Every structure is written in C-alpha cells, then in structure tokens.
Chains A and B, each alone.
Chain A
Amino acid sequence: MDVGDVGDGWIEPLSERDEVLTRWVERVAGDLRARLSVPELQRELGEIYTALTVALTAGGTDLRAEQFGELRALLADLSSGRARQGFTPRETAGTVFALKEAATAVMEKRNVGYRDYVRFSEFIDELGLFTFETYVRTRDQVIVEQSNQLLELSTPVIKLWEGVLAVPLVGTLDSARTQMVMESLLEALVSTGSRHAIIDITGVGAVDTQVAQHLLKTVMAAQLMGADCIISGIRPQIAQTVVSLGIEFGEIVTKATLAEALALALRRDGFRFVRRAAGAEIR
C-alpha cells in the first residue's frame, strides 16, 4: 500500500448503497419526527448519496474540488430549503451527521481501520460544516428580505379625510426610510389632490438630531408643494428630550395626538364640529 492510500479505506465500503442509505433515511426520519415523509427523504438523501459516491470514486476528498460541485449544490439546496421551512440548525446539520452512524455497520463489517474511520468522520464533519454555512447564509438572506419588506410595509400613506393624508412612522427613521416616506407622501399629495399632510411619530422610539433633520426635510418638501404639514404623536418624553437636545421645529405645527392634528386640518379647511344636543335624533 502506498502512502496515498492510507486513510482511504472508508471510501469503498460506501458502495453498499442500499444498506447505508436505508439506515440514513431511517435515522433522519426519526430525528425530524415525520415532518418530512420517508419517500421525500429517500429522494433527497438518495441524490446526495449518489453525488457523494460518484465524487469520491473520482478521487480526492477535498470538498472544494470540481468533482464535488454537484454534491455542494445538493447540500446547499438541502440546507437552504431547511432554513426556509423553519428547521433548526441542529436538525439541518444533524441530517448530514446521521450519515456517520448510518455507515458504521458497513464499516465494521468491512473491518475498516481506526485511522480510516477517523478520516471518514472528518469528511462527514466537513460536509456538516458546509451545510451549516449555507444554512446561516440563507437565514441572513431571509432577514435582509424581511427587513426590506418591513421597510415597504412601514411607510403607508393613509387618507384620513378628503384632502387630509397621514403617514404613521414606526420604529427607526434612517435616511433610506425618510427617502421612502418623502417619496410616497409627495406622490400621494399630488395623486389625491390633498392639501394637508400629517406625519405621526407616535411609533418612533427616539427623536435624535438625525431623525429631526429628516422630519424637517420631509415637512419642507411637502410645504414646497403647497401642502400644510403637521407633525403629531409627540409624547411627553420625546418633547422633553427634543427640548434638552436643543432641536427647534420652528414654524412647523406639532400636536400631541393624531386626533388633534386631524381636527386642526379639518378646521383649517373650514369644517366646524358641533356636538348634537342630547336626545336629538340621528338623521
């Protein structure tokens, strides 16, 4: 035996495909407690097993090598699929690690040496780590997608009354958000022919100088288009902080609540509110 062969004794036993694969599917099905069906797993793991044995027969155990391309693609599909279906990282990597135990009986039967078995174990660990990396990448991607969705979701322009628009701001107001708010507000002002815009900041946790600057810019842009702009939802703690910080809102009208801002906008449009006398009929 030449030096290159030391540690490769684990590859040949894997040719007992049926035995190893059956055990592998059994184990994984048990771990995942029937959240994936056996035929599904048979197909999925069968493909991976084929790609694995084909690549190993071609020689080498470096996962980055070209012949492992197919295997890498299948493992990436597996882990990104699992990540999106909500399986835990443990369950996902566990699917790969289960192959160790599944192959142990065959290795024993073929009298695979200790060294060879360690090499086999290392190789499976490598596969597991690769799966884990892909899993994390997919999760990161999902998070980015969700925060983008949130960005779009969180800037609705609401028509409160004929001629009165409102933008309730929630969470963090960064440059990207402000840009989005400003664009959708200005467009809505034109398309609905509204004269009043209310920016409600009840949901904004902290108003620092950058948030204030963004608010001022949005208001100025709306005013340039001839709209009256009111900032509402200034809570007591925000008011005190803004004063301590030294931010000046100047001419901009601010109100504690959205209701007051709406009332003001309507009064400016000439509406009068009269409470019906007690006992009077509703017509």
Chain B
Amino acid sequence: MTGMDSQRHPIVTESDVVRVRQVVRTLAVAAKLSLVDQTKMVTAASELARNTLVYGGGGEMMIDLVDSGRRRGVRAVFIDTGPGIPDLDLALTEGWTSGSGLGLGLTGSRRLVDEFAIDSSPGVGTTVRVVKWSR
C-alpha cells in the first residue's frame, strides 16, 4: 500500500469538523468511491473528528489517497494528545459513552469503514486510523 501526498488538517474548533467532512468528501470522490461509500467515509470521519475535538481536546487529521495496486482508497488518521482511553474494550462496546452522546461514534464508525485501527494510552493520547477502499 503506497500513500500519496498526505494532507494535515487541524481539529480545534467545531468548524474544523465541518472542514474535515469537506476534505474527506473531496478525496473520497478522487478515489472513485461510490456515493454510499463516500457518505459512509464522510460520516465516519465526522464521528472521529468530533471525538478528537470533544474527548481528545483537539488534535489533527492526516489524510491521503492510498493505492493497493488493485484498488484505490482514502486513509484518514485522527491524532490527539488528550487523556487517552483507559479501557479500549469498553469504549468499543456498543452504546457505551463517557459523555452525553449516543455511544455509537466509535463502534459505528468502525462498521462504516473497511479498516479500523485504534491506539490509545492514558495520558499520552489516541490515534485512530481508518481506510475506505473503492469496490
């Protein structure tokens, strides 16, 4: 899997979440994702960007187009240096929320994408990497 030019976008305010959605949509179109897959990727990115903002206290998104030789895709990595997630298994449980949300953000966005990797250490921060491939 090779990556092309990676873009970096800060996630510090609510309007950054809006911009993240627009950027992800643009790249999803460039990767020739279907309309449904575009929407799924944009929605997942929206969830993860909001997590970065609300729970991670802000951070950034790195996004690029990836190519497996056979298919193209969009890869987005959300990075924050917030409090981290003490219990990842719990956080990945359907309906569990530490805030006031529906508790579907993390589990839901995992279902919306093709690849999902999360790495979190208490006191260090959280990194979530997602990829959506064209069919």
Contacts and interface: CB of A to CB of B under 8 A. Distances in A.
A88 interface: no
Contacts of A172: 18, 21
A237 B35 contact: yes
Interface in A207-232: 207-210, 212-213
Given A172-B18, A213-B101, A206 B46 contact: yes
Given A205-B21, A244-B111, A213 B102 contact: yes
Given A207-B43, A237-B38, A244-B40, 11 more contacts: A205-B42, A206-B21, A208-B50, A209-B102, A210-B46, A236-B36, A240-B36, A244-B112, A245-B108, A246-B107, A246-B111
* B contacts with A: majority SS: helix
Which of B102, B109, B112 is the most central at the interface, judged by chain A CB atoms within 10 Å of its CB?
B102
Interface of A: 172, 174, 205-210, 212-213, 236-238, 240-241, 244-247
Main SS at interface, chain A:
helix
Interface residues of B, number: 24
A241 B40 contact: yes
A212 B102 CA distance: 9
Nearest to A216: B102
B28 to A, nearest CB: 11
A246 B40 contact: no
B56 interface: no
Contacts of B40: 237, 240-241, 244
